[in-house]
């Protein structure tokens, strides 16, 4: 019976602690997708409104009106994307790896038999390896597309 009788603040604290990860993992991605879809729907609605006005006025209709016009990425843009991805993933992997080494050393958790510290260190190592792979792709791409980059510089 004593298990059922708890302090109300403890229950509220446990509820808030459970809701924070749920909101980050579930609600935040749903919110981002909803905002992107709302923006696209708004864009289509605006184009539809313009098209209806053109039909009412008897104007000539362009069949490519609803096509999304995106300029193709240049070689330099692609390389900068690879470099950005390399820096972000590499720094995140390195910082988390170093933080874990410092934490596990100061808290003396290396003797933990569950393998718990090694799992997170492997994840950080994988993120760091992805960063290094993006950096290699950047440098190889820079050599491969040297002629195209020289033309863009002119």
- Interval 80-104: pLDDT, tens: 999 999 999 999 999 999 998 888 8
Query: Which of 1-5, 14-18, 95-99, 127-131 is predicted least confidently?
Result: 1-5
DSSP helix/strand/coil, 71? coil
What is the reported pLDDT for 11? 78
| Helix, strand, or coil (residue 118) | helix
Neighbouring C-beta atoms of residue 134, cutoff 10 Å: 19
**Residue 116: which pLDDT band, with cuts at 50, 70 and 90?**
low
pTM above 0.95, yes or no: no
Please tell me which residue, 123 or 5, carries the higher pLDDT value: 123
Q: Domain residues of the chain, as ranges?
A: 1-69, 75-153
Q: Of 13-22, 110-119, 130-139, which gets the smallest average pLDDT?
A: 110-119
In whole angstroms, what separates CA 59 from the centre of its chain?
Answer: 43
Q: Which helix (DSSP H) or strand (DSSP E) does residue 41 occupy?
A: helix 28-57
Mean pLDDT of the chain: 84
Collapse the DSSP code of 70 into the 3-class scheme (helix H, G, I; strand E, B; otherwise coil) and give the result: coil
CB 82 within 8 A of CB 138: yes
22-59 per-position pLDDT tens digit: 888 888 899 999 999 999 999 889 888 888 888 888 88
Q: 111 falls in which pLDDT band (50, 70, 90)?
A: low
């Amino acid at each position: 019976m004593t298990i059922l009788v708890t302090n109300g603040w403890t229950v509220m604290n446990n509820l808030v602690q459970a809701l924070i990860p749920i909101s980050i993992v579930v609600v935040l991605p749903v919110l981002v997708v909803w905002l992107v879809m709302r923006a696209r729907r708004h864009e289509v609605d605006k184009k539809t409104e313009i098209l209806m006005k053109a039909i009412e006025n008897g104007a000539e209709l362009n069949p490519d009106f609803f096509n999304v016009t995106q300029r193709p990425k240049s070689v330099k843009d692609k390389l900068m994307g690879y470099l950005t991805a390399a820096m972000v993933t590499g720094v995140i992997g390195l910082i988390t790896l170093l933080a874990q080494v410092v934490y596990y050393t100061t808290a003396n958790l290396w003797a933990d038999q569950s393998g718990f510290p090694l799992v997170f260190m492997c994840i950080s190592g994988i993120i760091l390896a992805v960063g290094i792979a993006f950096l290699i792709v950047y440098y190889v791409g820079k050599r491969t597309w040297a002629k195209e980059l020289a033309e863009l510089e002119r």
